[in-house]
Amino acid sequence: MASAYEALLEFVRETGQLAAIQELLDWDQQVCMPPKGVHARAEQVGLVAGLVHERLTSPRMGDALAALTEPTGDPVADTNIRETRRAYDRAVKVPGDLVREIARTSALAHEAWAQARRESDFPTFAPFLERLVDLRRRVAECIGYVVEPYDALLDEYEPGMSTAQVAELFAALRRGLVPLVQAVAGAARRPDASILTRHYPIDAQRELVLEISRAMGFDFEAGRMDVSTHPFTSGSCPGDVRLTTRYDDHFLPSALFGAMHEVGHGLYQQGLPAEHVFTPMGASVSLGIHESQSRMWENLVGRSAAFWHCWYADVQRRFPDALADVGREAFLGAVNAVSPSFIRVEADEVTYNLHIILRFELEREIVQGRLAVADIPQAWNAKFTELLGVTPPDDRRGCLQDIHWSMGAFGYFPTYALGNLYAAQFFSAARQAIPDLDDRVAGGDLRTLLDWLRENIHCHGQRYRATELVEKVTGQPLRVGPFLDYVRGKMSPFYGLR
């Protein structure tokens, strides 16, 4: 007879497989589903989401967990039991009808958001957003919280992290970043970022993106790359990881760094232990840790002098009309230029976290009922002007730019800035462990860093919570200082700052 743990594990794996089916339905909707399929898809994802919830909250799951109250001494088993119990304890508090309604509404809201974004018309999306806000508030009330409802939603994406902790970190970030943005704005020396808005044929961009993705270590026999309105990564298992990017023939970073970002996510997915697929030990720690991988590859590697020492001649060869008269140092300055912009996914490293602070502060107000959905565009623009000194000219480049609210993903945005903080500490630790890392990157070797990430982060699955993992890898708790030191040090030469 199978042990209680073996019985639990079998059920957990089956539930994970069902959740992976739901993820594939979501990927298909965003990448290749015909627009008229949205209503049928809404019913499909609602059905599957309900089935996942039913299994997760079933008496079979509860009975299996009730039989496993003592530590086993096996870190794999104890991790799977602990994280399954956490998921079960959250899920049993939320009615299945509510889960199905969120999935159905999100599928419909995605199409409404896409249309509203195209037309820069927030009122088209507003009714769907109001419904999703109400549904997510109900989830927070069902789960419960000690201080504020946002805590319950944040914990879904960054387990163990409280709203108060995020607010404290973000306050320190704001104090460090706003003066830096102001100093850069007043600097006499400035890189020429217009280099990146010349004509870059999309076919050549696509070939470049694929070559860099392979050099980073992404396995295209275990993944693929497509195009979507909003770049994302979907990974049902290490052997099936779906990436998307988007192309703009007059803005090279959109596809180039967007792809490096998503490949960073994809490498994490492909690096999770395949023998533990569909269990917590085969899953990522948190969205913040996931984001640390994408932002590390996109920025700390992709925008580094070492990376472009290796790759610039190749990029210049692919785009001779745009870059024939541009030296490597000028190009490096362009890809690191700091300028307040409207679009989060195209923001520079200095201003990016201010985009996240804006979303975090607005989300707290929305969830708490202090900000009405109808007032979001005005509140967005006012806070954007306060933080970044410019005002979005329309809703498309303002409050409609992100897909997340159409998914009902309140509590998700803070993980992006947390990812930047994690990434800075991880990369510093990698440099200490690999003293010649920059030389290796300059010589075209990106696999040494990937190997280090696999050995220190990817292989652990959910054995450690995010804050525990950071301390294990870096010897320090999560701090703002390493990130601020990194961006100040990097930007000073480009802008002549002291």
Handedness of CA 316, 317, 320, 324 (dihedral sign): positive
Q: What is the DSSP string of 378-412?
A: HHHHHHHHHHHS---SSSTTTTTS-SGGGGT-TT-
Region at 120 (left for phi over 0; alpha for psi -120 to 50; beta for the rest):
left
Long-range contacts, 253-258 (Cβ 8 Å, 24+): 253/196, 253/335, 253/346, 254/346, 255/202, 255/205, 255/206, 255/209, 256/205, 256/208, 256/209, 256/212, 256/302, 257/298, 257/299, 257/302, 257/303, 257/335, 258/231, 258/345
Category of 90 on φ-ψ map: left (φ > 0), alpha (ψ -120 to 50) or beta:
alpha
Q: Which residue numbers are catalytic? A: 262
For residue 178, what are the CA distances in angstroms to 133, 271, 354, 488?
A: 30, 36, 8, 12
Here the tokens at position 227 are: 């195009």
CA distances from 149 to 53, 68, 83, 88, 368 (A): 21, 30, 22, 19, 7
Task: Determine contact, residues 204/318, Cβ cutoff 8 Å.
Answer: yes
Q: β-pairing, 240-245 with 223-227?
A: parallel
Q: Are strands 233-237 and 223-227 parallel, antiparallel or unpaired?
A: unpaired
Tokens, residue 167: 């607010």
